[in-house]
Homo-oligomer: A and B are copies of this chain.
Amino acid sequence: MDRTLMHRTGEVTLTVRTPDGRPAAGRTVTVAQRRHAFAFGNIGFDFVPLVAGPGPAGAGDVETFGQAGGLDLERAEALWCNLFNTATLPFYWGGYEPRRGAPDTARLTATARWFAGRGVTVKGHPLVWHTVQPPWLLGLDLDEVERLLRARIRDLAGGFAGLIDTWDAINEAVIMPVFANGDNAVTPLARARGRIHMVRMAFEEARAANPAATLILNDFDLSSAYECLIEGVLEAGVRVDAIGLQTHMHQGYRGEEYTAGVLDRFARYGLPLHLTETTLVSGHLMPAGIDDLNDYRIPHWPSTPEGEARQADDVVRHYRTLFAHPAVRSVTYWGLTDDGAWLGAPAGLVRADGTRKPSYDALESLIKGEWWLPPTSMHTSADGTLTVRGFLGDYTADGVPFTVTAGRAAQEVTLT
């Protein structure tokens, strides 16, 4: 066991009982991990049309991505569910409610249920953001925009409660009031009323509508600006459940030292860290001079053999760094396949033709290999117990479930 991963493991003394309740002494049972407690996530945008059909009229007017046309549902499911246990679904206002008053509730509900039925935790992204807006929002006055935004937050957080209990409550609040890369109705509101007003609105409305929700403050800005925002928000008494850190590394892997430094800086607020949006490309790197990644538009951004080898290496280095840091609770990769990937980047773990890249295999070798207990024969002692030390999560003994939690615990299973 890697000492740096001790915080990811626990030890269970498991008393195995026969169906009649007596300790099963000297018995061989197969112990197997079923699920990680750690959230290994990916976006599930591709699955919305696969599971629930095409989007509403007008949804195509706003930017969309993650439409894996090259995969059928069965192949997509096999690739996705093999690695991931947490799915982020898209609730961009412009895509979700392209026509005022006609939100895409049915398709998102169906897709969320589809994931939930496979044991996948579903997360919604994002309740408040200034980008990917519905055109009908432009031109409304500030009070009306705020009223509609509050109603949207309540409708989503409340309407999906129980099915979706994790939300990016507000996205990119640091740049929100000074965003200059596209007209929208939220930037003027944030400029007039302030970042903390926006953050409070998002968290308080969502919290009221779903008190059980895990609500995340999410940003791509990992500079002191985000620290200052967090300190202001916490000082203002807004209850934040987790700090979301985006890391779209289209311009190249940022390295272990940088990453660990970022994690340490944001861990000092004592809140869980969610690596909400993680990208590493398997083609050429986007030039470093591009400030807003959205400004880089090229007709074709191919995945290359050299790029795929580098991406696999980067993925392993990055996930090792994140998994080793005790504050990190969740890592969401930003896309399964290159088909329809954000910015057209070869950011997937799977090529557009549905074949696995080396990065997929590399990530599998961590999530389902090095950090995973495969079905293993174990023997109970004379008192019917055996000891399982493993990565935190759900397990079975001869098919009967038990859980490995932090520290040491005693549990029982009764064989059937």
Which A residues contact B (CB, under 8 angstroms)? 174-175, 177-178, 191, 194-196, 221, 223-229, 231-233, 235-236, 265, 268
Contacts and interface: CB of A to CB of B under 8 A. Distances in A.
Contact of A231 (B223, B224, B226, B232): B232
A356 to B, nearest CB: 40
Q: Choose among A178, A191, A225, A228 the residue with the greatest number of B CB atoms under 10 Å from its CB.
A: A228
A175 B268 CA distance: 15
A232 B175 CA distance: 15
28 contacts: A174-B224, A174-B228, A175-B224, A177-B227, A178-B224, A178-B227, A178-B265, A194-B231, A195-B227, A195-B228, A196-B231, A196-B232, A196-B235, A223-B223, A223-B225, A224-B225, A225-B225, A226-B228, A228-B228, A228-B229, A229-B231, A229-B232, A232-B232, A232-B233, A232-B235, A232-B236, A235-B236, A236-B236
Nearest to A223: B225
A226 B225 CA distance: 7
Contacts of A175: 224
Contacts of A231: 194-196, 229, 232
A177 B236 CA distance: 19
Nearest to A233: B232
Contacts of A191: 268
Copies of this polypeptide in the complex: 2
A117 B62 CA distance: 66
Contacts of A223: 223, 225
A352 to B, nearest CB: 37
Complex A-B, nearest 8 residue pairs according to Cβ-Cβ distance, in ascending order: A232-B232, A225-B225, A228-B228, A228-B229, A224-B225, A235-B236, A196-B235, A194-B231
Q: Choose among A178, A194, A221, A235 the residue with the greatest number of B CB atoms under 10 Å from its CB.
A: A235
Contacts of A232: 196, 228-229, 231-233, 235-236
A351 to B, nearest CB: 38
Contacts of A195: 227-228, 231
A226 B174 CA distance: 11
B227 A224 contact: no
Q: Choose among A177, A225, A265 the residue with the greatest number of B CB atoms under 10 Å from its CB.
A: A225
A191 B268 CA distance: 8
A221 B191 CA distance: 19
A195 B225 CA distance: 12
Contacts of A268: 191
A94 B229 CA distance: 31
A227 to B, nearest CB: 7
A162 B232 CA distance: 33
Contacts of A236: 232, 235-236
A177 B232 CA distance: 14
Contact of A235 (B174, B178, B221, B235): B235
A128 B177 CA distance: 29
A281 to B, nearest CB: 26
Given A175-B224, A178-B265, 11 more contacts: A174-B224, A174-B228, A178-B224, A194-B231, A195-B231, A223-B225, A225-B227, A225-B228, A231-B232, A232-B232, A235-B236
Given A178-B265, A265-B178, A194 B224 contact: no
Contacts of A196: 231-232, 235
